[in-house]
Structures are given as C-alpha cells and as structure tokens.
Amino acid sequence: MNGAMKFFLAGCVAELYLLIIRRFYINGTGKQVVAWDSYLIGLAWAGVAVAVIGAVLSFLWRADQKKRKIGWVILGAGVFLAAVSAVVRINLSVLTLLYVAVPVVMLLGILWSLYDRECAVALTILGVSLLAMWVLRREVTSIYTGTYFKALTVVYLLMIAAAAFVAHKAMAAGGKLGKLQLLPSGADPLPIYVACGLSAAAVVTVLINSLVSYYAMWILAGVIFALAVYYTVKQL
C-alpha cells in the first residue's frame, strides 16, 4: 500500500507540472510565454543536476537498499524534470502524449504494488499496447511519417513476441530470468500469454484499418478492466 501511495502522489505531482506548463507556456499571455521559454531551459538544467545528485547518492548508498531507493527516486525525478522541460520546449505536441502517459505509468505502478506479479505484468503489456496503439494509429496514416511508424509497429510486435518468450523461459526456470526473479515460482503465466496475444492482434489492426483499430482499442481497454476486476476480487 505504501508503494501504491507513492506512485499515486508522484503521478499527481508530475501531472500538475504538465498542467502548469500548459497554463503558462501554451495558454498564457505573451509575457508568460516568453518568460516560461526561459524557465524551461533553467528547469531542464535543474533536472539534470537533480538526476546527477540522485545517481551519485545511489552509488554512495549502494550497500543500503533503502537509501539506494531514495537515490533512484531522486534520479527519476531529475530525469523527468529535465526530459519534459526540454522536449516540450522543442515540440509542444509531445505534451498531449505526456498527459496520457503519466496517468498510465502511475496506474501501472499502483498495479505492480498491489496485484500479483503475473497480473501486473499482463496489465503492463496491455496498458503499454493501448498507449502504443493510440500513438501509432494517429501517425501511421501520415504521408510524412507513416512509413516510419509502420516500421515501429512491426518492431513493437516483435517486442510483444519477445515478452511472451521471456515469460515462458522464466517460468521454465522457476520464475527466474538469470538471477532476476521475474515471476513467483508458482505463478500462472496464462494472463501474460493472453495479454501478449491480444496485444499483438490489436496492434496488427493499426496496419489494416484505422476504424478497426479504434474498436480494437476499446476491446483492449475492456480486457484491462476485466482483468483488473478479476484479480481484485481474487485477492479479497
């Protein structure tokens, strides 16, 4: 529960920062836009400094797992601040994607904190696939970038296949992938295989027809909701 609350608060803070950027950099007055154009440069460098501090602390505290996690949190906060500030200043359209990506990451973090590991992995695959479809179906029909995004669609399909293979290999070794305990030894890998199969089928529709992919996204969202409800009831 502590982990879930931390992800929730971090997601709220990140989304608030995006809303502040929208309020003053996109919808602000002329003076506010000019001022925030400079602020974003400073915030980007501040993020880099925070990330460096987090990396140094993680290295210095490598013997203490709790303190090392604090260093990772500082590192992640710095990377987010630097990346968002720099990317939004370069391309404002990225802000729309970030509005969606931040809540998705927050929810996935909460799921990893509360649910069984196999459920968390399955929901992560489905959630990332849903977000990927939202991006791909907007760009794959473009006369300028369509070819590149079609290639990215194929690459993502290969990544889904790789995820299913890794899960199968891990379960054959008692849930371990090398030294990493990817899944509990008694976990049921079926939700992961189903998530990979449905994600692959849904992503393929992006290459077939935009309207079909639209309905496929809703079906994928329904599966995510159903799986989350099932494991919620299971754990009660």
Distance CA 105, CA 103 (A): 5
User: Would you give the end-to-end CA distance of the chain in angstroms?
Assistant: 14
What is the mean predicted confidence (pLDDT) over 176-187? 72
Tell me: the pLDDT tens digits for 88-114? Answer: 888 877 887 788 788 878 877 777 777
Tell me: the pLDDT tens digits for 24-76? Answer: 888 888 888 888 888 889 999 999 999 999 888 888 887 777 778 888 888 88
Q: Please, where are the H alpha helices in the chain?
A: 2-21, 30-60, 65-90, 94-114, 117-139, 146-172, 190-208, 210-235
Q: Tell me the pTM.
A: 0.65
Side-chain-side CA neighbours of 44 within 13 Å: the count stands at 14
Side-chain-side CA neighbours of 71 within 13 Å: the count stands at 17
Distance CA 145, CA 148 (A): 5
235: confidence class by pLDDT, cuts 50, 70, 90: low
For tokens 């502040």, the residue is 20
Least confident range from 81-90, 157-166, 167-176, 210-219: namely 167-176
Residue, of 205 and 140, whose pLDDT is higher? 205
236: confidence class by pLDDT, cuts 50, 70, 90: low
Please give the structure tokens belonging to residue 107: 């929810």
Q: Is the pLDDT of residue 81 over 80?
A: yes
pLDDT of residue 45: 93
What is the mean predicted confidence (pLDDT) over 217-234? 82
Tell me: the pLDDT tens digits for 117-169? Answer: 778 888 888 888 888 888 888 777 777 777 888 888 888 899 999 988 888 88
pLDDT of residue 1: 64
Residue, of 65 and 78, whose pLDDT is higher? 78
- Residues 213/202, Cβ–Cβ less than 8 Å: yes
